[in-house]
Amino acid sequence: MAFGGQGYGMAFGGQGYGMSIGGQGYGMLFGGQGYSMAFGGQGYGMAFGGQGYGMAFGGQGYGMAFGGQGYGMAFGGQGYGMAFGGQGYGMSMGGQGYGMLFGGQGYSMAFGGQGYGMAFGGQGYGMAFGGQGYSMLFGGEGYSMLFGGEGYGMAFGGEGYGMSIGGQGYGMAFGGEGYGMSFGGEGYGMSIGGQGYGMAFGGEGYSMLFGGEGYGMAFGGEDYGMSIGGQGYSMAFGGQGYSMAFGGQGYGMLFGGQGYGMLFGGEGYGMAFGGEGYSMLFGGEGYGMLFGGEGYGMLFGGEGYSMAFGGEGYGMLFGDEGYGMLFGGEGYSMAFGGEGYGMLFGDEGYGMLFGGEGYSMAFGGEGYGPPVSFGG
């Protein structure tokens, strides 16, 4: 069922229940076997359900829930609120800034503040209660807790307890077995990791990280930030210059800045949150998502989900066997579908969709229309 508001209200049902009650913006639901519900707000409210429950209660910004086998819920605030569920519970209650949760087998919760609040859960409990600045938690097997202050508060947990209670300045706790870390200044900062953690927090110059079997992360500065990942996690939080992440079998994520942002995904998740310049994502077998900025936004999908939320410039999606969706901006918006679903929601410029064997839909905007749809 779809109860429309001023914007779009759509529900693509599965075997179970699929409901979308739209608000002023977009309210979309792609149902799975169980229950999938999306209650839209002013912005985007989307729920891509799995076998269990997938719910997204949108706020003014983006509220998305990509459900797994268990529960996946996202309660959005003014900014971004996203929950990518695992086997257990995954919840994200967003604040004004970013609130993101990538769930593991156990409980993973992120309660965002004004800044960034992120929790990457492990087997046990992973919680991050954000403050005004940055609050990040990368959980291990036991308990890992972070209570952020005004400045930077980070806790990288090991097998036991890892806690950091931050103040106005820097508060960091790095526990566990392996750790290779480099906190760069104005010059070069390099970390060549082993089996454990390999992290580089860059400054104004070059920041490079060559990961091993564990975590490989690069938090870039104004210049180059690169992370060449191994089997585990590969993440790059870019600055104004180049930001590249070459993922392995696990998670590959890139949060781009003003310059180039590229992500070459592996078998797991591949996500790129673009900035003003180029944002490209070459997906693998899992999820491939791109949230574009003002420049180019391109996504080359894999076998799973492929989504591109375009900006003012070019937005292109080259889909594969799974879902291919593009939400266009003011310029060119093209979607070349694969065997599954191919959808394009155009805006003021060109809207074209070249479908595959499945469904192909084009919803036009104010510019050239009606959009062209070549079915398979």
Same domain, 341 and 265: yes
What pLDDT was estimated at residue 319? Answer: 44
Same domain, 168 and 205: no
**Residue 181 covered by a domain:** no
What pLDDT was estimated at residue 213? Answer: 39
**Residue 335 covered by a domain:** yes
Segments forming the whole domain that contains residue 78: 2-172
Q: Which of 172, 205, 220 is the last residue of a domain?
A: 172
Nearest to 77 by CA among 64, 60, 90: 60
Pairing assessment for the beta strands 44-48 and 216-219 based on DSSP bridges:
unpaired
Same domain, 267 and 304: yes
Please state the domain count of the chain.
2
**Residue 307 covered by a domain:** yes
Q: Which of 156, 172, 188 is the last residue of a domain?
A: 172
Same domain, 157 and 255: no
Q: Is the CB of residue 52 less than 8 Å from the CB of residue 69?
A: yes
Same domain, 78 and 148: yes
Same domain, 209 and 154: no
Same domain, 218 and 301: yes
Reply yes or no: is the peptide bond before residue 370 cis, omega within 30 of 0. yes
**Residue 184 covered by a domain:** no
Same domain, 351 and 206: yes
Q: Is the CB of residue 373 less than 8 Å from the CB of residue 346?
A: no
Strand order in the sheet with 71-75: 2-3, 18-21, 36-39, 53-57, 71-75, 89-93, 108-111, 126-129, 144-147, 162-165
Q: How many CB atoms lie within 10 A of CB 240?
A: 16
Q: What angle do CA 93, 97, 101 make, to 5 degrees?
A: 45
Same domain, 133 and 238: no
Same domain, 168 and 201: no
What pLDDT was estimated at residue 337? Answer: 46
Q: State the DSSP code for 352.
A: E
Same domain, 218 and 262: yes
What pLDDT was estimated at residue 269? Answer: 43
Residue 334 token pair: 């093209």
**Residue 188 covered by a domain:** no
Beta bridge partners of 30: 12, 48
pLDDT in tens, the chain (376 residues): 344 433 344 444 433 333 444 433 344 444 433 344 444 433 344 444 433 344 444 433 344 444 433 334 444 433 344 444 433 334 444 433 344 444 433 333 444 433 334 444 433 333 444 433 333 444 433 333 344 333 333 344 333 333 333 332 233 333 333 333 343 333 333 344 433 344 444 433 344 444 433 344 444 434 444 455 444 444 454 433 444 444 433 344 444 433 444 445 434 444 454 433 444 445 433 444 454 433 444 445 433 444 454 433 344 445 444 444 444 444 444 455 444 444 455 444 444 444 444 444 455 444 333 333 333 3
Same domain, 220 and 356: yes
Continuous segment of H or E residues that includes residue 234: strand 234-237
Distance CA 318, CA 169 (A): 45
**Residue 191 covered by a domain:** no
**Residue 178 covered by a domain:** no
Distance CA 72, CA 245 (A): 26
Place of tokens 């805006």: 347
Give Cα 25 distance to the centre of its chain.
20
**Residue 96 covered by a domain:** yes
